Structure 1
Amino acid sequence: MKKREDQPIIREQMVTYDDYARMPDDGKRYEVANGMLELLSAPSPKHQVVSYQMQRLLTNSCNSEYIVFASPIDLILSATEVRQPDLLMIHRSRMEIITHRAIEGIPDLVAEILSPHSVKRDRHKKLKVYAEYRIPEYWIVDPANAALEQYLLTGDDYELLNLYDREEVVQSDRLPCVAFTMEQIVEAAADLPG
């Protein structure tokens, strides 16, 4: 097909972590998903409070064994797969994956907090990617329903192990220090929209 003079040629190229790291800071957040740059929406105030509460509770109960990170932080899974989970946990015996630029390796846990614009990405795309890269445990946090879905890697895929509602104590055999309720998480953001 011949190019018309008034039409630029659009060429899609694979984006790597190095390309992404060289981008000028425009104040926006991105992920590299299978070599494609994806713009992330700014989190809502409610999302931020839920994230903070989870990070605070997990840090308070797990700090001696785990380091808890909240977004924004890059999780480099490969040169063409760089995600920004809302929360992640790394056992202190594996601190070598924490580098000056990012988390470069497989954390013990990743968690995503649902918002109206992230449901498809968190429930489908990230579920598949995190399983592909063998992250042992994945949580999907649903503030609107005060619920937490706990997925464990079984073989090559995640299996839904538990669905915790508002008053049930969230626990993990892999992360024995974990013990909180979704009520503790969502109550702090109850008066916020979204």
Structure 2
Amino acid sequence: MTVAMEPTEELRRIPMSWGDYLNHPENDGEYYGGCLVVMPTAGKKHQQIVKRLLRLVEADLPAGAEALPSLGWSPSGVRELLIPDLTVFRDESDEDFLSGVPLLVVEVLSTNRRDDLVAKVQRYAAWRAPSYWIVDPRDHQVLTLELVDGLYLETARHTGGQVVLTYGDVEVPVDLDALLA
């Protein structure tokens, strides 16, 4: 299947099968809801926040864990693939994307806020990600969620200053104002 794409600043959904997605020559987006979902390139501020957060998370990684930005995640048996802005995981495979359950997924909100706040919350919960952080530069806050009985419960909503973000037993000290600067 060939898909011609015009340059755009908006989220694009291109219907296709899972097989067509896996064989798509560019494979340049996420796949869910029966569509290749192509997002605009993350802006400078978005990328800077991911980079700063990656450094903070890497300083307090659990033994045997790794943190990577933009790592695709497709749980075994699921025909969808999401690409969190940051993922903390333990994985020994050489696959191009993660198939096990990560310790933490993080999304930095930008142009696809609805997907990050609804569609991805539902999928990450169904896929059993135990912790989900939502970083919101527009509203200057970080929301932390923990999976309880298959649903995410808000554990904290931080809006500034020195905070401690947690996932599992891990505590990550963060200057929220510097992170979101």
| TM-score of Structure 1 vs Structure 2, range by shorter chain | 0.7 to 0.9
Equivalent in the alignment of 2:94: 99
Equivalent in the alignment of 1:150: 144
- Greater relative CO (CA pairs within 8 A, separation 6+): 1
Deviations 1:47-104 (A, max 9, x none): 0111111011111232755211101x211124421000001101xxx323x4332111
Deviations 1:151-179 (A, max 9, x none): 11111211111101211412315142422
Structure 2 residue runs without a partner (length 5+): 1-13
* Matched residue SS, 1:129: helix
CA distance in 2, matches of 1:141, 1:129: 18
Structure 1 residue runs without a partner (length 5+): 1-11, 188-194
Q: What TM-score comes out, normalization by structure 1 length?
A: 0.77
CA distance in 2, matches of 1:52, 1:175: 23
Number of residue equivalences: 167
Equivalent in the alignment of 1:141: 135
1:144 partner amino acid: R
Equivalent in the alignment of 1:191: none
Bigger Rg over Cα: 1
More helix by share: 1
Is 1:24 matched with 2:15? Answer: no
Report matched runs for 1:67-146 at 5 Å: 67-71=66-70, 73-77=71-75, 78-90=77-89, 94-96=90-92, 98-115=93-110, 117-146=111-140
CA RMSD of aligned residues (A): 2.1
Q: What TM-score comes out, normalization by structure 2 length?
A: 0.82
